[in-house]
Amino acid sequence: MMKKLKVFDLGNQKSDEGLGTALEFIIMGEDSIAINHLKQLYNSTQNSLVKSEAANLLFDLYFTRSEWSQIETDGLLEEPSIEKSNRIIARSCGMSEPPLYSFPESPIHTPMKLSFSGCPTIEVLINGKKKFFWLDTGAGMTVISSTLANECSMNLLKEKEMVVGNSTNQDLDTDLAFIHSIKIKDLLIRNQPALVLSDNLLEIPLPDKKGNMVIDGIIGWDIIQHLHLEIDYKAKEVLIQKPITKENKDRNLFFCGAPFIKVSSLNEKPLYFGLDTGANKTHFGQPLLSKLDNLVVENRLIHAGGIGDVKEREIQCINYLSIQFNSQQDITFANVRMMLSDFGSFFTPDGVFGSDIAKDGRLIIDYANRKVDVFR
């Protein structure tokens, strides 16, 4: 079992008491089976580390499925190994009406612009007010600015212990709000929980432009997972429709603290990359260096970072990286930087795909069927 787990470079290697089995089910997209396995493990193990990891994996699966009552029933709201912020959010969501999605009969087509950082941006109506939001699979929850929350007279849950991590592993203070309505053309989402960040944290310096990029808000994975989403970078258009579950033997997408895609090296060695449409470029993780030969790695000074922390940094870069996205499709990336932070919670990935994975093409995300396709 641990031999299989080592492809994930789990850092402080975890016991093989059953966590590996749970991860295998998660990778296969069998979340319900993984949940049952983790519940049994959490309640039976005498190993404190295994119990902690089982609790966090179980909480994460419940959280992304909005199964707030199960979090409480299984005693996870009081589990000290789970971050206090996440438990506060889960408790609040459990006391509120669940999000409600109303899809039109026909697919939605809406224009898209790329932000200066390369993130797809679309027009939305937040409680009737027109704004422009990022489509960011790397954001676990939807985010709004404090100005927008005030503009819409939203009630905020304020807790001193509530923080959110950014892309350089910094903790940022946050509040919680529930958005009455989000409209994207004829798609209506009601009662959507969202993190509220101060305006300055949603302003990203643009060294080449001598100014800041201001972000109204972010549509995160908590919404994207419920959509069939197509981002057409060439046509600058986004298509959204209600997902239709179907039998799919070619699953390559799974969720483990964040969305991940199963790919391979050109010699068919399994690789695991996160998916972050909020990043303009693909990044590599430390485990990749021990898996692929003949990589040319250099140190370079680059302006990089994320919300609340963009500055010039010395970063390792790979000149060229080629991966096999599927049996019929190879993709090569140039000037691939090393990841600045963790992506997901439970293992160090081989890298994270940014928006450049579908540069001048189309990215299709269909989490209901655990599938990502790229057309370049």
Q: Are residues 302 and 356 in the same domain?
A: yes
Q: Are residues 91 and 107 in the same domain?
A: no
Residue 241 and residue 184 in contact, taking contact as beta carbons nearer than 8 Å? no
Q: Are residues 368 and 276 in the same domain?
A: yes
Domain count for the chain, please give it. Answer: 3
Confidence (pLDDT) at 199:
87
Q: Are residues 113 and 236 in the same domain?
A: yes
Percent of the chain with pLDDT over 90: 67
Residue 307 reports pLDDT greater than 70: no
Q: Are residues 55 and 187 in the same domain?
A: no
Q: Are residues 51 and 140 in the same domain?
A: no
Q: Are residues 197 and 90 in the same domain?
A: no
Domain boundary pick from 189, 210, 241? 241
> pLDDT confidence of 309, banded at 50, 70, 90?
low
Q: Are residues 201 and 176 in the same domain?
A: yes
Considering the domain boundaries, does residue 4 fall inside one?
A: no
Q: Are residues 32 and 105 in the same domain?
A: no
Closest by Cα among 122, 274, 285, 121 to 204? 121
pTM more than 0.85: yes
Considering the domain boundaries, does residue 246 fall inside one?
A: no
Query: Measured between alpha carbons, how far is 95 from 118 in angstroms, rounded to an integer?
Result: 37
> Which tens digits make up the pLDDT trace of 154-199?
988 887 667 665 544 556 788 999 999 999 999 999 999 999 998 8
Confidence (pLDDT) at 14:
42
Confidence (pLDDT) at 305:
54
Q: Are residues 121 and 156 in the same domain?
A: yes
Considering the domain boundaries, does residue 44 fall inside one?
A: yes
Question: What is the C-alpha end-to-end distance of the chain, expressed in Å?
Answer: 37
Residue 265 maps to which CATH number?
A: 2.40.70.10
> pLDDT confidence of 9, banded at 50, 70, 90?
very low
Closest by Cα among 351, 376, 350, 352 to 363? 376
Domain boundary pick from 70, 95, 120? 95
Closest by Cα among 182, 183, 124, 195 to 156? 195
Q: Which domain holds residue 324?
A: 253-375
Considering the domain boundaries, does residue 74 fall inside one?
A: yes
> Which tens digits make up the pLDDT trace of 61-109?
999 999 999 999 999 999 999 999 999 999 999 999 999 999 999 999 9
Confidence (pLDDT) at 212:
73
Considering the domain boundaries, does residue 6 fall inside one?
A: no
Token output for 217? 């808000």
| Whole-number Cα distances in Å, 247 to 17, 244, 251, 370, 371 | 31, 10, 10, 10, 11
Greater confidence (2 vs 213) lies with 213
Q: Are residues 211 and 282 in the same domain?
A: no
Closest by Cα among 182, 224, 175 to 196? 175
Q: Are residues 73 and 132 in the same domain?
A: no
Residue 376 reports pLDDT greater than 80: yes
Considering the domain boundaries, does residue 316 fall inside one?
A: yes
Domain boundary pick from 95, 114, 139? 95
Considering the domain boundaries, does residue 9 fall inside one?
A: no
Considering the domain boundaries, does residue 232 fall inside one?
A: yes
CA torsion sign, 134 to 135 to 139 to 141? positive
